[in-house]
Amino acid sequence: MALVQLPGMVGRELGSSEGLRVVELNIGAQHPASGHMRLIVYLDGDVIVRVDPDIGYVHRTVEKLAEGREYVRIISLVERMTIIDACNVTLPYVEAVERLLGVEPPPRARYLRTILCEVNRIASHLYGLGIGGIFLNHSTMYMWAFGDREVFIHLASLLTGSRLTHTYPVFGGVRRDLPQVFREEFEKAKRYMLRRLREYDKVFFNNPVIRGRLEGVGVMTAKQAVALGATGPNLRASGVRYDARMTGYAAYGELDFEPVVGSEGDALERVWVRLREIEASLELIDRALRGLPEGPFMAEKFTKTVPPAVRHWLGKGRLKLPGSYVRLKTRPGEVLGRGEMGRGEITYYLVSDGGMKPYRLRIVTPSARNVVLFDALARGHTLMDLPAIYGSIDYFPPEADR
């Protein structure tokens, strides 16, 4: 570590007693608002001069574990980085492997993936809003967001049979067809959520106390955001029109996807972009449900070898896999999978040597990219602004630590 050059302090590496002006405060790992991490905050009076995020408390060696597993078993492994955003985190991986396998998912599967991705995105944004709320001690926003998130978890469990860890997209398609009740239930969820967003406005976003906490805090200009490599809503809040969904993976290319872009780049704008993305996602799901093509939800390549004894399940909207699915072999090569998660862009770099297991799976998660923002945005603010900045970045330690 380089010498710490702090104003009013000779670096503590020098062991000087003159450094007493700056207080070193450990926020975490046991702290009500730290999450699975530690923030080492250097304070001059009440002003933050530096923040060192100490990450890695929930590191689970996902990349290394992936090297020892067959492709299909990795889906539910990478899902565990962000179980609250399960479809978004697995989809780029599944699409990357599909490209190596040379399998094209049928259009219906691509639409169903999009629908679940957006349901997950709403749930993930609500989670972020809730945590952002409790960081400002606004317990009502916290409970409301978590209570309303339950609506979207319910929708996801209707579609996939699981509340959080859906393992829904698999190579060649998806695991369940759209159930009959989904459209009707989604219609209700949409109406409910749009009404609730107005209530969020009244209690949280237009609340003068919250406005004061978020407005003008942690301002990030577009230039800074790009230089720091920020991603997701944090990047778009600074006015940069970039979203991995613009590449048109899954069915986004056919749904006239338009990213939500903010302008001010402060904490309020970051939270606001998430709020407007919830609306945009509701609209996207609506469009995807209306344009949902008929047809199979799994590629012909795999369904044709399903044993005849269990074929009847496919007609009932349930997937049956052929035995060869466990030991899929890809062609040797390198492939890059990109996708937009709730918190930003996730990148998988997959190297295959032609075997049943990947040679290397490199994962860059959005939270891993956003962790630099702690130091960049918090400097010069007071200690009380730190939770506001943390909440507005929507940082998720398990995702960053992998």
Partner 1 sequence: MLERSVDRRRGGHRSRPNVVKAHLDAIATAAKRLLEPPITLPYPDYMEARPPGYRGVILFHYEKCIGCSLCAQICPARAIKMYRVPGDKRLRPGYNVGRCIFCGLCVDICPVDALSESLVHDKVYEDVPSMDMDPVDWALWSRRVMDEERSPEKPLLRARLDPERGIVYEEAQPASSGGEG
Partner 2 sequence: MDPLAWLASALGLPRWALRAVAAPLVYPGLLTFMAVALFVIWAERKMAARVQMRVGPLYVSRRLGGALQLLADGIRFAFQEIIVPVGAEKWSFILSPILAFTVASLAFTMVPGGPGVYGFRSSLSLIAAYAILSLVPILVIIMGWASNNKFTYIGAGREALVAVTGEATLLASMLAAAMMYGSMDFVSIVEEQARSHVPGIVANPVAALLFFIAALLVTDRVPFDLVMGEQEIVQGPYTEYTGILYALVMALDYLKLYVLMLMFTHLFLAGWAPFSDPLLGSVWVFAKTLALMLFAVFLRSVYGRMRLDQVASMFWSRLFPLALTAFALSALIHPVYAQP
Which residues contact partner 2 by CB under 8 A?
Answer: 23, 25, 27, 31-33, 46, 133-144, 147, 203, 207, 209-210, 212-213, 382-387
Binding letters toward partner 1, positions 278-317, x by CB under 8 A: -----------------------------x-xx-------
- Residue 151 near which of partner 2, partner 1, none (CB within 5-8 Å, type-dependent): partner 1
Contact 105, 173 (CB under 8 A): yes
- Residue 386 near which of partner 2, partner 1, none (CB within 5-8 Å, type-dependent): partner 2
Closer by beta carbon to partner 2, 51 or else 368 = 51
User: Least CB distance from residue 242 to partner 1, whole Å?
Assistant: 22
User: Least CB distance from residue 224 to partner 2, whole Å?
Assistant: 23
> Can residue 72 be called a binding residue for partner 1 (CB under 8 A)?
yes
- Residue 139 near which of partner 1, partner 2, none (CB within 5-8 Å, type-dependent): partner 2
- Residue 384 near which of partner 1, partner 2, none (CB within 5-8 Å, type-dependent): partner 2
Please identify which residue in 165, 254, 292, 296 interacts with partner 1, judged by CB under 8 A: 165
> Can residue 63 be called a binding residue for partner 1 (CB under 8 A)?
no
Query: HSE on the CB side for 155, CA within 13 Å?
Result: 26
Contact 263, 374 (CB under 8 A): no
Non-local CB neighbours of 353 within 8 Å, separated by 6+ positions: 332, 359
Distance CA 392, CA 402 (A): 21
- Residue 102 near which of partner 2, partner 1, none (CB within 5-8 Å, type-dependent): none
User: Least CB distance from residue 184 to partner 1, whole Å?
Assistant: 9
Distance CA 356, CA 328 (A): 6
Query: HSE on the CB side for 221, CA within 13 Å?
Result: 3
Distance CA 210, CA 383 (A): 16
- Residue 76 near which of partner 2, partner 1, none (CB within 5-8 Å, type-dependent): partner 1
User: Least CB distance from residue 99 to partner 2, whole Å?
Assistant: 44
Q: First and final CA of the chain: distance in angstroms?
A: 23
Closer by beta carbon to partner 1, 306 or else 350 = 306
- Residue 135 near which of partner 2, partner 1, none (CB within 5-8 Å, type-dependent): partner 2
Contact 376, 228 (CB under 8 A): yes
User: Least CB distance from residue 74 to partner 1, whole Å?
Assistant: 8
Non-local CB neighbours of 59 within 8 Å, separated by 6+ positions: 401, 402
Distance CA 396, CA 17 (A): 36
> Can residue 277 be called a binding residue for partner 1 (CB under 8 A)?
no
Give the total of residues touching partner 1 (CB under 8 A): 68
Closer by beta carbon to partner 1, 31 or else 311 = 311
Residue type, 170: V
Q: Which two tokens stand for residue 301?
A: 């390549």
Closer by beta carbon to partner 1, 131 or else 153 = 153
Please, what is the Cα angle at 42 between 41 and 47, to 5 degrees?
100
Q: 185-194: string of b/e by CB count within 10 Å (b at 16+)?
A: bbeebbeebe
CA torsion sign for 184, 187, 191, 197 is positive
Q: Which stretch binds partner 1 (CB under 8 A): 95-103, 206-214, 278-286, 389-397?
A: 206-214
DSSP string of 282-294, one letter each residue:
HHHHHHHHHT---
Residue type, 187: E
Classify strands 333-341 and 173-174 as parallel, antiparallel or unpaired: unpaired
Binding letters toward partner 1, positions 108-147, x by CB under 8 A: --------------------------------x------x
Distance CA 69, CA 75 (A): 10
CB atoms within 10 A of CB 140: 14
**In what helix (H) or strand (E) does residue 252 lie, and over which residues does it extend?**
none
Chain residues binding partner 1 by CB under 8 A are: 7-8, 44, 47, 49, 69-70, 72-77, 140, 147-148, 150-151, 154-155, 157-158, 160-162, 165, 167, 175-176, 179, 185, 187-189, 191-192, 195-196, 199, 202-203, 206-208, 211, 215-217, 219, 263-264, 266, 268-269, 307, 309-310, 318-323, 325-327, 380-381
